[in-house]
Amino acid sequence: MDLLMAEQKITELRSQLNQYGYEYYVLDQPSVSDAEYDRLMQELLELEEKFPELKTPDSPSVRVGGAVLDVFEKVEHRTPMLSLGNAFNEQDLKDFDRRIRQAVGEDFSYVCELKIDGLAVSLRYEDGLFIQGATRGDGTIGEDITANLKTIQSIPLRLRENVSLEVRGEAYMPKRSFEALNEKRAERGEELFANPRNAAAGSLRQLDPKIAASRKLDVFLYGIGNVGESGVVSHSEGLDYLDQLGFKTNKERRKCATIDEVIEYVNSWVEKRPHLPYEIDGIVIKVNSLEQQAELGTTAKSPRWAIAYKFPAEEVVTTLLDIELSIGRTGVVTPTAILAPVKVAGTTVQRASLHNEDLIREKDIKIGDQVVVKKAGDIIPEVVNVLADQRTGNEVDFHMPTHCPECESDLVRLEGEVALRCINPKCPAQIREGLIHFVSRNAMNIDGLGEKVISQLFAEKLISDVADIYKLTQEQLLALERMGEKSVSNLLKAIETSKGNSLEKLLFGLGIRHVGAKAAKTLAQVFGLMNKLADASKEELIAINEIGDKMADSIVAYFDQEEAKELLEELAAVGVNLEYKGTKPVSAEESDSIFAGKTVVLTGKLEQLSRNEAKEKIEALGGNVAGSVSKKTHLVIAGEDAGSKLTKAQELGIEVWDEEKLLEELNK
């Protein structure tokens, strides 16, 4: 085949694949089989490989996944991506409606749309060609994730008109993709994603686009950054225009003439929400007229013409089948409710924490009870209460055991503690849980060494302490079930990489009682070297801000053990770093930051930063991040679904910021 024939064939294949992709991913009306689509794609890939000069940026083949990136570049949005104010009940919606009427009169309408629970993205097109995609970031500056967004089949690489515009949407992971992804992660012993939103966000921030492509993401477009000369005069017309250009919009939207119609729409989706193939966490309500939107304007962080109604946490009823006990790395015995499988907030729940025996007594929980379950913050399952009036008399009281279910040692309740504890240092459960903690994300972060793999290695007696992890060989790992050459190679690389972690990661991973991630970071910064910390006296330790008597005693006792000294020698011998690599934080006296010397509490879900990132940034500027609100708290940062901490802050009159305000101050 010569160049001219190849060009004609490639043009024909692209046209076919683009049309079939639009029918399948946007219209949900496929006209050819998956096998036929795959055959045509393979033919295109082979031709483009043979004639690379004919490959173009809008070829369907670019969706397969490009080269691995080193880092995400920053992108400035031409039109800021503002966040929305929240409504939590009918009165909030009526108050919003009243403000609109006061500003623009009686002649206006609303558009209601499902609030997709995903990651906000901005897409730029020049002359109809998709040239750049970015995350929302802080609303002004986002990250360039073009390569990953190109893997989403419903995002058109070329529009049906040669227009230049910036559009906004929500990238998300369908429930089916989420369940399949977590099944694969479970098989590999990897940590499961908590919900589709986290999974989507994690997928779009992969430096390897092939990983993003494998996650089967989707997108709904919901707005135009700047309508320009499109002739669009209302939000509903804008959505229709996006349809016309070949974008995928959500068809469940509705125009409403009154706030009562809006409330009716909202209430209907509270009931229908579980039946959608994707997660939603609310309803977005917008004034339809663009002219009236402009008249209403915006505040520094959100438009006055739109609001997001947030659904209450979904509650369901199921049967409590049993109560299981697990032993943590510190010996604490934790009861867990085993439930008849039930869908809550889009995912199947079979387990819920019961925390301790006192809570079981307080809620009068019996095995066999009908219980109300919800997900706190739509993430963590919890038993809300028991339906005592539905008891049949067959329910059974639960009693905590007197001996450890793993090693048969006596269980004790230490003075001042609620929990029962196994104090046998050789308890297999504690050793196993300690190993799982050591490799976890906030500790040594060894990718591929999840709970299942650690349990497998421990059961096979290949590891008995954390130093053994660094002595594992390819031969040992290949002999294990479900361990192939590639996964073994990747695991050994991850183990080797973890040797270079900064001291605080190792210190936290060792699981010294009372030493959390924050204290580990403080100790690493102060002492710099593990041997200096190991030699520290109690007096030296309690002289450090945040280190109290209990923690100091625990640290001294740990390093006094011969076993601990031998373990550190072993870790040093296998090349694990024992030195702090980070920068020392600015003291309150040295910093001119607004956070200097202030105690800050983080609560709720942050969108742009993880809790750890926010904490590190605040502490680097001389602030102190605490876990609970008290009279000594200076500032509370409240994300989405902020709960009792926010309520307490408001009761105490403590200043409260949202995430946008936090980012604004951090960027200074």
Q: What is the CATH number of the domain that holds 320?
A: 2.40.50.140
Could you tell me if 480 and 188 are in contact, meaning their C-beta atoms sit under 8 angstroms apart? Answer: no
Phi-psi map region of 312: left, alpha, beta (phi>0 left; psi -120 to 50 alpha):
beta
Q: CA-CA distance, 354 to 357, in Å (whole number)?
A: 8
Q: Are residues 237 and 355 in the same domain?
A: no
Looking up tokens 């959100």 gives: 302
For position 271, what pLDDT does the model report? 80
Boundary (domain end) residue, out of 64, 89, 107: 64
Q: Are residues 487 and 537 in the same domain?
A: yes
Residue 482 within a domain: yes
Q: Are residues 265 and 363 in the same domain?
A: no
Q: How many CB atoms lie within 10 A of CB 175?
A: 17
pTM: 0.54
Residue 178 within a domain: yes
- CA 496-616-145 angle, to 5 degrees, is 70
User: Number of folded domains in the chain?
Assistant: 5
For position 68, what pLDDT does the model report? 62
For position 100, what pLDDT does the model report? 96
Q: What is the CATH number of the domain that holds 457?
A: 1.10.150.20
For position 114, what pLDDT does the model report? 97
Name the amino acid, one letter, at 637. Answer: I
Q: Are residues 52 and 170 in the same domain?
A: no
Q: Are residues 131 and 171 in the same domain?
A: yes
Q: Are residues 463 and 546 in the same domain?
A: yes
Boundary (domain end) residue, out of 348, 383, 412: 412
Q: Are residues 238 and 170 in the same domain?
A: yes
Q: Are residues 207 and 189 in the same domain?
A: yes
Residue 30 within a domain: yes
Write out the catalytic residue numbers.
115
Residue 585 within a domain: no
Q: What is the CATH number of the domain that holds 247?
A: 3.30.470.30
For residue 329, give its domain range. 315-412
Q: Are residues 535 and 452 in the same domain?
A: yes
Residues (pLDDT < 70) of the chain are 64-70, 189, 227-229, 300, 345-346, 376-380, 584-591
Residue 591 within a domain: no
For position 654, what pLDDT does the model report? 92
The end-to-end CA distance of the chain, in Å, is 60
For position 378, what pLDDT does the model report? 47
The alpha carbon dihedral of 240, 242, 246, 249 has a sign of: negative
Q: Which of 284, 320, 327 is nearest to 303 (CA)?
A: 284
Residue 71 within a domain: no
Which residues, including other chains, have CB under 8 Å from residue 362's CB and lie 6 or more apart?
none
Q: Are residues 604 and 561 in the same domain?
A: no
Q: Are residues 559 and 660 in the same domain?
A: no
Q: Are residues 33 and 159 in the same domain?
A: no
